[in-house]
Amino acid sequence: MRDTDVILIGGGVVGCATADALARRGASVVLLEKGDDVAVGASRANSGIVHAGYDCEPNTLKARFNRRGNEMMWTLARELGVPNKKCGSLVAAPEGGEEGLRVLLGKAEKNGVRAEIVSRERALEIEPNLSDDVRFCLYAPEAGVISPYKLTIKLAERAVLNGAAVVTEAAVEKISQTDGKYVLSTPKGDLKCRFVVNCAGAGAEKVNVLAGAECFETVFRRGDYFVLDSTEGDNVSTVIFPLPTAAGKGILVAPTADGNVIYGPTSVPVNGADTAVASDALDEIRRAVPLTYRRPAFNKCIRVYAGVRAIVGDDFIVRESDVRPGFFTVAGICSPGLTAAPAIAEYVAGLIVSVLIIFMGFELARSSIEKIISPEATIFSYAAMGVLIAAILVKLWLFYFNRKIAKRINSASIAATSMDSLTDVIATAVVLAALIGGQYTDFPIDGVAGVIVAIFIFRSGWGAVKSTQAPLLGRPMSK
């Protein structure tokens, strides 16, 4: 049975981003996907919008992950070579719609998002083809578009290059626990791990039931789209939203990262992952587009499609289970889930790496106490001493390198990785000191020093947990 640090369930953008984040930080990772490839669900069939974050309710996970995800997305797209356009977005309002824009602007200010209300004249400079009915707009320059399925595939590829395994056609059939670890049964065999991250999207509710974790109810809404020929791409300069409603952000007009244009989505309640496009939904799009865009070109449609978003309450669920330690639920990642994905991955990966540091402290404490109780003679070797010194230098370089990168991109998970390297330096230095000092005394110096280092590692691991949460969320998620 394969044994690994972390198993991720679900090969959508959140699952692949988390696999990438963990693999780059040295964790052993297996990602399980029930389909025949990654990006076969909602991560393939969505708008591909990188949302600015002005419409999220302040102090929610959506708001926090959206803001951080937007900050990360453009660098990530450049690193991975994923098509994208930072083209901004407009929320178009007719006469009398200014109050709705002011509400959005107030949320933007609370969420730390750049946005401004602009006149029709200024809006036309940004998007010349606005409808004649549009009088004012909310402009958010940090928004844009990206290829969602190419992003997901590239994240999975980089995760594999860094040691992760991606197993397709591996639906999880059973989750049990043995010897303090989880055992997951799939058609491809059983796997054992210390941590499970449920990123199963539309299937997340069922996975939680299998694990005996917290239950929640999922609501499904289908979004239908028109895709227009690339010849229409030059006519749409930015993402155009109507004023949002209780059903969602509304039917938009947007360029795609691949040079096409999309109209949509609708928001139709469905039972389960039903992605069959409906004619009445397409008629709804035909009626809505002219309200914000004056050059509808339905005659240039090259295809229609639909995706289903899984909604769990009013906010994302991103947390460790209270009843199943080591089991993380990442569910209800509807809009702005694509934008939030890198930030969710950073948070979950940083938290798991921090806990792994604490586990390392426990192991060191246990072995050190055993050495104090049953001391053994230290065998000195110049070769061993040379290896230990080399390991200290390498780990010290990794500490400074990761700390520098973490500060540059404001990454809590990479900061946690740097602390992991530092604890390795200290632990190895203690081994070196014990190797040398053991030649001159029978006192169990290696055991005592090991306990002291273990205490330091506990402190560092707990600090890493807090640093992972605080910059992004402002407070622990359980509060």
Pick the catalytic residue from 25, 44, 51, 309: 51
Which distant-in-sequence residues (6+ apart) come within 8 Å of 375 by Cβ?
442, 444, 447
Residue 200 in 3-state DSSP? coil
Whether 128 is catalytic is no
**DSSP of 417-429, one letter per residue?**
HHHHHHHHHHHHH
Tokens of 82: 């994923």
DSSP state of 57: P
C-alpha 293/C-alpha 277 separation (Å) is 23
Task: Concatenate the DSSP letters of all residues of 141-165 into one string.
Answer: TT-EEE-HHHHHHHHHHHHHHTT-E
Q: For residues 83 and 282, what is the distance between their CA atoms, to the nearest angstrom?
A: 27
Phi, psi of 446 (to 5 degrees): -65, -35
Give every CB contact of residue 363 below 8 A, 6+ residues apart in sequence: none
Task: Match 């933007």 to its residue by tokens.
Answer: 108
Does residue 395 come out as left (phi exceeding 0), alpha (psi in the -120 to 50 range) or beta? alpha
Would you state the structure tokens that stand for residue 336, as one six-digit string? 């702005």
Helices (H) and strands (E) in the chain, counts: 11, 20
Helix (H) or strand (E) holding 108: helix 98-111
| Residues involved in catalysis | 51
